[in-house]
Chain A
Amino acid sequence: MASSMSAGRGAPHIDMPLLLVVVVLSAIGVVNLYSATSAYVGDTSGHGALAGIYVTQIYWIVVGLLLAMLVAAIDYRHFERLAPILYVGGLLVLSSVFVLATDVRGSSRWIRFGTFTFQPSEFMKPLIVLMVARHIQNDAKVEERTLVDLAAPLFFTAVPVILVMLQPDLGTSLIYLMSALTMLAITRIRTGSVIWGAALSIGASLLMWNFGMKDYQKARITSFIDPLKDKQGTGWHAFQAQTAIGNGGLSGEGFMQGTQNQFRFLPDQHSDFPFAVFAEEFGFLGCVGLILLYGFLSIWAVHIASQAKDRFGAALAIGSGAVIFWHAVFNLGMSMGVLPVVGVTLPLFSYGGSSLVTMLFCLGLLMSVSMRRSG
C-alpha cells in the first residue's frame, strides 16, 4: 500500500489509508447511532433525549478530529518528554473522581463541569501508552527481560488499573492492562518470565474474584457463562443483543428495520451494543465489512510501528493501535456473547464524548508516528 511515502522529501505526508478508514468508520458510526436511537423519537417516557444524541456525537467527532489533527501535527517525540507530566496529571484527575464523581449505575466514573460531564479514565488510556512507550524507548537492554526488568512499566500500568478498579470499572482497567501488555509483547522477554507473569495474573484474578469484585461485576461474568439464568439482568441484555445479531441473518433486516432495536429489546444500544444494532440491520455481510475495517486499522497500526524510526514511535504506534484493537475485541466479543459484558465502547461507534475524543486522540498519535516514519 502507500508505504513508500518518504519523510526524506521534507514535509510530512498524511497517511491517507488511515484517514480514510477513520472517516468511514466515524460516518458509519453516526448513521448507526441515528438508527439506534430512532426508536426514541417522540418518546415521552424519559428516553426522548436519546433521539437527538447523534447530533451531539457529530459535534464530538469534530472536536476529536481537530484534536487529532493537532496531535498529528506535533512531532510525537515531544510527547516523550511530556509523558511523565501528563501521566501524573492524569492520575491526579483520576483520583479526584472519588471526591467529585457523579454516580452512574453504582460506579463513579464521571466528573461534572457545569452541564458537561467527562470520564477521566478514558483520557488515561493514551497517557499510559505514552508512559510505557517512554520506558521502552529508554530501556535499551539487549538481553531477554525478566520480571524485574518489567517492574517499572507494570507499575505505571498497575496504579491507574487499581484506581479504576476502585471506581469500579472492570472494562477500562482491562483495556489499560491489555494495551500495556501488548506494547511489552514487542520487546524480548524471557519465556520463564512470561510463564511466571501469567501464573501471577491468574492468581491475582482469583484474589480479585474473591475479595475485590462487587456482586454485580461477578454477576456479569457468571451470566456470561449461563446467560438465561438471569432473565432480567446482564445475561438478558447479552441474550437480546445476540438475538439481534442472529436476527440480522445474511444480509440484514435493512436500515432502521431491526425489530430488536426498534422495539427496544437492546439495552444501551447507543453505548454498549451499537454493534448489535448494526448487525441486525446489515447482517453477516455488513458485519464482515465492519470487521475488515477494524482489522485493517489494527494491522495498519502494526505496519506504522514497523516503519517507525525509533523505539518510542514503534511502541507508541503499537500502544495506540492496541487501545483501538482491544476496545473493538471486547465490545464485539461481548455483543456476540463470547466475552463477558464489561461495558467497553466500540471505537467510533459508541456514543460518548470522552470515549470518542480519546479514540481520536490515539488515532492522532498513530498519524503522528506514521507521518514521521523512517525511509
Chain B
Amino acid sequence: MATLGQRSDVGEFRRRYRWLVLFILSIFSLFVVRLFLMQVVHGDIHEAQARRNIIGETRLATTRGVIRDAQGKVLASNRPSYNVYVVPKQLDFEKTWPLVVGYMSLDQQSAKDIEAKIRELALNERRAEQQALIRVDVDRDIMATLETHRDELPGVRVLPAPVRAYPYGELGAHMLGYMREVDAEILAERPEGGYRAGDRLGAVGVERRWESYLKGQRGFRRFIMKKTRSERIEDLEDRYLGEGHLQEPAPGRDISLTVDIELEKSAEQAMRGHLAGAVVIVDVRTGRVLAALSKPSFNPNVVSGGSGKAAVQEAFNRYFSDPLKPTLDRTISAAYPPGSTYKPFTALSGLEAGLIQPDGEVDCRGGWEYGKRYFRCTGVHRGVNLHEALVQSCNSYFYELGTRIQIDQLAELGSRYGFGAGTGVGVNPEARGRMPTRAWYTRRYKGAFRGGFTLLAAIGQGATTVNVLQLALAYGALANGGTLYRPQVVRSIETSDGTVVQDFPPRVRRMVEVDQPKLDLVRAAMVDVVLDKKGTAHAGRIEGVDLAGKTGTAQVSQLAPRGSDQANVEYFNRDHAWFAGFAPAQSPEVAVIVLVEHGGGGGKNAVPVAMRIVRDWQRMKAERLNRPATPDAKKKKAGSN
C-alpha cells in the first residue's frame, strides 16, 4: 500500500513536546499540592466533617434546680405540662374528633374553633403532616384519659414538656423571677452558655442572677447512624466514638433563699386594700432579706410559658399596658422620696455636727419661713425638742436645722448608711436613689444653689430618693448599732440530694461610725413614735406588737399640697405612705419597711400594715421556737430567726 510507505515530516512537532510534558507535570504537581493541602494540612477539618456525617448526637435533658425558702418550702420547681397535639391529616373528623372533644371536655365554642383551625391546616400540604398544638397544659385526668384511649384516637398525641412551676404564684414573683425563651442574641453572643433555640432561661430575679447554677449541664449520647451494614456497628462505635460518647446530664443546683414565704404571705395579706407598694423585711443581725414584696405582682407561671406561648404574649401585653406597672420590682428597681422616714438620719447629722442639742427647742408655728418661701409643717407643734420633733414628725424643727446644716453634711451621713449607692443585692436592676449634694444641685440647676434645697433634704424631700431595700438596711444599721450589711437573698446552694455546696455567711458592707448615746436618743424617739400618745404611729398600733420606727408621708406632686384631703387628689398625685421601723423595739431582730404607693398619710395607711406583719412575725417566731423543725423542712435546719 502506497500510504504505508509514505513518510511525513515530524520535525515540526519536536519543539512542542517538551511544552506538553511541562504542562502535564505542572497540572499534576498542582493536584499533588492541592491534595497535600486537603489531606495533610486541613485533614483534621475534613475528618471532623466526616465524623459529623456518621455520628449522631442525642441531647439528654437536665433538670433545673429547685428554689426553696428559708424553711425549705418549694418556691420554684419543675413539672410536666401535658400538651395535646393533632396531626391534621391523620385525624378523622367524623369518628375521632367527637371522642377527643368528649375526653377533653371541651365546650362547644372552643371545640368549634379548634376544629376550624385543624381543618384549615389539613388543607396545607406541608403542615397537614405536622403535629399541631391544640391544647396546652391539660389536666392530669384528661392526659390519662387520652392516653388510655390512645388506640381509638389515631393522629392525637399527648406530649409532656417540662415547665417551671411556682406554687406560690404571684407571691414574691419579682424576687424569684420567671423563665423566658432564649433569644437570638444570647444564642449568638454566648455560645459557651450551651443554649439551643427553644431553651428557657431565667429572666429576672433569682432565676436570672443564679441561672448558671440553676440550669444544670445538659448531657449527650453520641451514636453511629445506622446507615451501613449492621454487624459493623459495634466495631465502628469502638473506633469512632471512643470514651467520650456518653455524658450524663448534671442536674442544676438547688438554691435556698433567705426569704420566708410565710412572712411574705403575711406581708401580702397586710397589703390587701392597697393598690401598689412594697414591703421589705431584713434581719438586722445578718442583712438577710426575709421578705420582699412588690405590689402589684405578675404571674410567673403564666409568663414562664406554662399555659402556652399565646398566654405569655397576652399576659405581657396586659402587664405592660397597666399603669401600675406590675413587672416593676418596687423593692429594688424604683426610688422614692423617703419623706419623714429620713428624719432619724437628719437628726444624726445634726447631732454629729453639733448643730443641735437633744433638749434644744424649736417653736413650730405650722411652718417655716425661709427667704421668700414658706415651708409647711404637718401641724402646729409649738415648742419641740429633738425627741418630740421625731415623735410628732415636726418639719419645722428640721427646717430650722436645715438652715444651719450644709446639704453635703446630710449627704455624707446618708451615704455612710448606704443611700445613693447600690446595695449589691444582685437580683434585679437597682435604682440607686440619690443623696443630693451642693455639686449635684449646681450641675442640675444652672445658677445659684438655694438654701431651700437643704430644708427639703432635711425632711427627706426635694431631690432625695431611696429604694425600699436601702431604707431597710439603713434602719437595720440604726437598729443594730451601726453595722450596715450587704443584703442577702440566697442562703445556700445545694446539690439535688441536699448536700450544701456553698453557704453564704452574712457580709458586712460597712461599720458606720456613730456615737452610741446619740443613736440611742434617736432610737428612743422611734420607740415613742408608736408608744407616745402624740406619736404619729400611735393610732395604728396593735396591742402586743413590739415595733419601733418612723412614719413618713412623702409628697409626690405639687398638686397635692400638704394637709389636703388625699381622697380628692388624682391617684398618681397622692402622697406615698411610709413606715420604717424595727422589731422588737429593744434588741431588734428585724427591720420592716412598708411603702404604700400613693397611699396618703404614712401614719394612717402604712403603720397598720407594718403592725400586722410584725404581729404575724412574732406569732411565727413563737411557733417555731416550740416546734423547731416544720414538716416541710425535714432536710433543713430550722430557720435562723
Contacts and interface: CB of A to CB of B under 8 A. Distances in A.
Q: Do A and B bind each other?
A: yes
Interface of A: 39, 41-42, 75, 77-78, 80-81, 137, 140, 182, 185-188, 240, 242-250, 259-260, 262-265, 279, 283-284, 287-288, 291, 294-295, 298-299, 302, 305-306, 308-314, 318, 325, 329, 332-333, 336, 338
B27 A246 contact: no
Given A243-B49, A247-B47, A299-B24, A186 B31 contact: no
Contacts of A318: 20
A75 B40 contact: no
B8 A249 contact: no
B53 A310 contact: no
B225 interface: yes
B227 A246 contact: no
A287 B40 CA distance: 12
B331 to A, nearest CB: 52
Contacts of A325: 24
B35 A245 contact: yes
A186 B34 contact: no
B17 A302 contact: yes
Contacts of A295: 24-25, 28
A246 B14 contact: no
Which secondary structure dominates chain B's binding surface? helix
Contact of A336 (B8, B34, B50, B54): B34
Given A77-B4, A306-B14, A263 B53 contact: yes
Contacts of B30: 338
22 contacts: A187-B12, A188-B12, A242-B38, A244-B46, A246-B47, A248-B39, A248-B43, A249-B40, A249-B47, A250-B39, A259-B53, A260-B50, A262-B228, A263-B54, A263-B228, A291-B31, A295-B24, A305-B17, A309-B7, A310-B7, A311-B10, A313-B10
Contacts of B12: 186-188, 311
A246 B54 contact: no
A246 B10 CA distance: 44
Contacts of B123: none
B45 interface: yes
Contacts of B8: 137, 140, 310-312
Interface string B218-242: 0000000101110010001000100
A284 B36 contact: yes
B518 interface: no
A314 B28 CA distance: 23
B448 interface: no
Contact of A247 (B13, B35, B43): B43
Most buried by B among A246, A249, A264, A279: A246
Contacts of A298: 24, 28
Contact of A39 (B4, B20, B228): B228
B9 interface: yes
B21 interface: yes
A8 to B, nearest CB: 15
Contact of B46 (A42, A246, A332): A246
Contacts of B14: 306
Interface of B: 3-4, 6-10, 12-14, 16-17, 19-21, 24-25, 27-28, 30-32, 34-36, 38-40, 42-43, 45-47, 49-51, 53-54, 225, 227-229, 232, 236, 240
A294 B24 CA distance: 10
Contact of A259 (B39, B42, B50): B50
Given A80-B3, A140-B9, A314-B10, 10 more contacts: A187-B12, A246-B45, A246-B47, A247-B46, A247-B49, A249-B47, A263-B228, A291-B31, A306-B13, A310-B10
Given A294-B28, A302-B21, A308-B10, A249 B43 contact: yes
Given A77-B4, A336-B34, A264 B24 contact: no
A249 B10 contact: no
A245 B46 contact: yes
Contacts of B45: 246
B357 to A, nearest CB: 84
A309 B19 CA distance: 20
Contact of A288 (B24, B32, B38, B232): B32
Contact of A81 (B3, B34, B39, B240): B3
Contacts of B9: 140, 311
B13 A186 contact: yes
B592 to A, nearest CB: 64
B78 to A, nearest CB: 37
Nearest to A285: B39
A338 B30 CA distance: 10
A369 B125 CA distance: 65
CB-based closest 10 A-B pairs: A246-B46, A247-B50, A311-B8, A284-B39, A249-B43, A186-B13, A295-B28, A310-B8, A186-B16, A246-B38
Nearest to A239: B49
A44 B20 CA distance: 49
Nearest to A295: B28
Contacts of A302: 17, 20-21, 24
A288 B228 contact: no
A332 B39 contact: no
B13 A243 contact: no
A244 B47 CA distance: 8
B344 to A, nearest CB: 70
A284 B228 contact: no
Nearest to B45: A246
Contacts of B54: 259, 263
B3 A245 contact: no
Nearest to B236: A259
B442 to A, nearest CB: 63
A298 B157 CA distance: 66
A314 B13 contact: yes
A313 B34 CA distance: 35
Contacts of B39: 245-246, 248-250, 279, 283-284, 287
A186 B20 contact: yes
Contacts of B27: 329
B32 A291 contact: yes
A368 to B, nearest CB: 13
A264 B53 CA distance: 10
Most buried by B among A243, A283, A305, A318: A243
Given A259-B240, A263-B228, A325-B24, A332 B31 contact: yes
B274 to A, nearest CB: 61
A140 B12 CA distance: 10
Nearest to B11: A311
Contacts of A39: 228-229
Contacts of B7: 309-310
Nearest to B240: A259
B387 to A, nearest CB: 82
A302 to B, nearest CB: 5
A37 B170 CA distance: 65
B229 A185 contact: no
A291 to B, nearest CB: 5
B227 A299 contact: no
A137 B30 CA distance: 34
Nearest to A336: B34
Nearest to B225: A263
A77 B16 contact: no
A73 B626 CA distance: 116
A336 B35 contact: yes
Nearest to B46: A246
Contacts of A260: 50, 53
A333 B31 contact: yes
A279 B47 CA distance: 13
Contacts of B232: 262
Given A185-B16, A309-B10, A312-B8, A299 B35 contact: no
A196 B225 CA distance: 56
B37 to A, nearest CB: 9
A188 B240 CA distance: 58
A372 B229 CA distance: 52
Contacts of A250: 39-40, 43
A186 B17 contact: yes
A299 B21 contact: yes
